Chains A and B, each alone.
Chain A
Amino acid sequence: MMLVSLLSSQYNRIQALAEAWLAQGAQAFGVFEQGRALAYWPAGQRLLPADLSAAIYCYNEVVGELRLSGIRHKAAQQHLKAEAELIGYMLQLEYELQCMTADLVASQDQQLALYRLTQAMRDLVTVRETLTAVVHEAQRMLRGRAGFATYVSTNGGDPIVVQSEESRLNVETIWRLFWQLQTEDRPLLLSENDGDLRRPPGVHNLLVVPVRVRGMVVASIGIMDRAEGFGTPELKLGRALADQASAQIERILLYQEMVEQARLRSEMDLARRVQTDLLPRVLPEVTGLEIFAYSRPALQVGGDFFDFINLPNHPFIFTIGDVSGKGVSAALLMSMTRTALHSKAQFMPSPTPALVMRQSNEDLYNDFTRIGVFATVFVGQYEVEQQTITYANAGHAPVIYRPRNGRAELLLADNTAIGILPTNHFQNRSLAMAAGDLLIVATDGFSDARNEQDELFGIERLLNAVDELSKLSAREIADGLFDAVDRFSAGHPQDDDQTLIVLKGVEP
């Protein structure tokens, strides 16, 4: 067959050889294949017995013969042999060219298919869809009877197995192959010729390629029972498909992470806005008191708040509190708590901290119980004539009082937090608040601040800091306390909101 195609493509050149022989006195020249003349000169001549012949070899196999009649000397024999060799060599070149062309066409087909696969995969948003598409394409392009793919999530999702309809492998077998692949970290090529025991029963041959995502083998693609077996070109194509799958899975993971981050960010932004926007922006001016308050939300916003009720003909009341929990829910509950306290403090005919607390607890108890939260709250009321602060403390800490000539001390709460007991009998307590007396109500974000060694800032450090700062103004004391806790926890992120109110008695 090959000789025929060479003859037709190189007819003029072969004919030139024949004419040269005839010119030298030969009676006939012919090209034969299996004893049959494919071309014979002079044209129309009856076949003559050959005087000389030379076999045409291609890859060491006889594929034809040159025959010459009418000349029989030795030099002619040598010449004829050289021509047969040349034709053999041309045949070989022709064959290689054909192979290369076929390869080229095949690889072009594959590239086109890969391109189509990339295009098709761009719309896929889940790993499962991607694996299904890749298995389908791999099965088609590698001409396997069936295919499968596996995926193990690195962030705790369920592992995934997809199989083409034709696959009859059980899932354990597929996972066993995957673990094998992960251990060896290179493609697995099994065929019935190599007697490899890892080949699943009933499968003639099998190619499994690893899919790396972010440097780790997290997935595999397997194709089985290719009629011609799997060789180097199939391995290459398998790897190219794995690369495609890898790129797409990475894209999907990145997308999922972005969505998750955006969701968290917007939730955190909302919580932060609820918290910061609801807090008073202006510090009240109260005769006999120097007041400073500030709340610094943590990255994951908690439920800290403070508030002032400062109206004409109304006692000055301040509240500070911490609702358990984090994020939006804590921010919303904090605004609920703050509002409950504020309305009681503002509208009660003759409010006292204990009454404000008691009624707020009754209002909030059921809702808090349903949600499973509570709020520690401190409510204080300043009596300007007596220069005292009356307060009630519902489980709130730390509260620090420092008389002008004494040491800073921790004031323990008398009552449990709001939302714990259905009826809570709050008690009013009283503190002197003359010039130089100091009351600092902070939230546990201060005392529970941690450093890199995981130590707590603690109450002792807080008390010492207050003693050191006590001669300064309310604002400077607050700044000093934030500085102290920042210096201590340097390098460790702020776990919880840090909120404080500093009240200092001054000459009215």
Chain B
Amino acid sequence: MEIKPRTVGNVAVLAIEGRFDANTAPPVQHWLEQATATPGARVLVDLTETTFVDSTALATLVSAMKRCQQGKGEFALCGLRRPVLMIFELTRLDKAFNIFVDSEHALAVLNA
């Protein structure tokens, strides 16, 4: 797995490539903890190149989302491939997260 952080306008973006699971979650968690630490943080996780997520990965995203919400920030996901989206649908997390088709749409909304 590889993670690629960048900043676009006011939004901190993290692209995750490859398998996102219990073995690869720690660096993502570390990044998300820092990104969501400031009140009002706008954070986007780009899953376009993510091939798999397990429950640890989902937990990592859930706790980041909650932290963000506590700080009145915004947290969004984008670019979920079919197999990854299916995991979100199976666990009904698609209802909990703000999910965009791609980073372009997500950034347009988050930066508005």
Contacts and interface: CB of A to CB of B under 8 A. Distances in A.
B56 interface: yes
A325 B63 contact: no
B19 to A, nearest CB: 8
Interface string A364-400: 0000010011101000000000000000001111100
B26 to A, nearest CB: 12
B58 A374 contact: yes
Contacts of B105: none
Interface in B57-109: 58-60, 62-63, 66, 83, 87, 89-93, 95-96
A290 interface: no
A456 B52 contact: yes
B91 A324 contact: no
B54 A448 contact: yes
A369 B54 contact: no
User: SS class of chain B's interface: helix, strand, loop or mixed?
Assistant: helix
B55 interface: yes
A461 to B, nearest CB: 14
Contact of B59 (A325, A397, A496): A325
Nearest to A450: B52
A419 B66 CA distance: 10
A81 interface: no
B71 to A, nearest CB: 13
Contacts of B63: 369, 372-373
A65 interface: no
B22 interface: yes
A313 to B, nearest CB: 34
B93 A420 contact: yes
Interface stretch (A125-133, A408-416, A466-474, A481-489): A408-416
Contacts of A413: 90-92
A417 B91 contact: yes
Given A369-B63, A373-B59, A496 B54 contact: yes
A456 B86 CA distance: 13
Nearest to A443: B55
Contacts of B96: 416, 420-421
Interface in A420-434: 420-421
Contacts of A417: 91-93
A376 B52 contact: no
Given A326-B22, A374-B62, A420-B62, A415 B92 contact: yes
A307 interface: no
B91 A416 contact: yes
A394 B22 CA distance: 21
Given A372-B63, A374-B62, A326 B91 contact: no
Question: B55, B91, B93, B96 — which one has the most chain A CB atoms within 10 A of its CB?
Answer: B55
Enumerate the 3 nearest inter-chain pairs by beta-carbon distance, A residue then B residue, closest first: A372-B63, A324-B59, A397-B90
26 contacts: A322-B55, A325-B22, A325-B55, A326-B56, A372-B59, A372-B60, A372-B66, A373-B59, A395-B91, A395-B92, A395-B93, A396-B91, A398-B90, A412-B92, A413-B92, A415-B95, A416-B91, A416-B92, A416-B96, A417-B93, A420-B93, A448-B52, A448-B54, A456-B52, A456-B83, A496-B54
Interface of A: 300, 302, 322, 324-326, 369, 372-374, 376, 394-398, 410, 412-417, 419-421, 444, 448, 456, 495-496
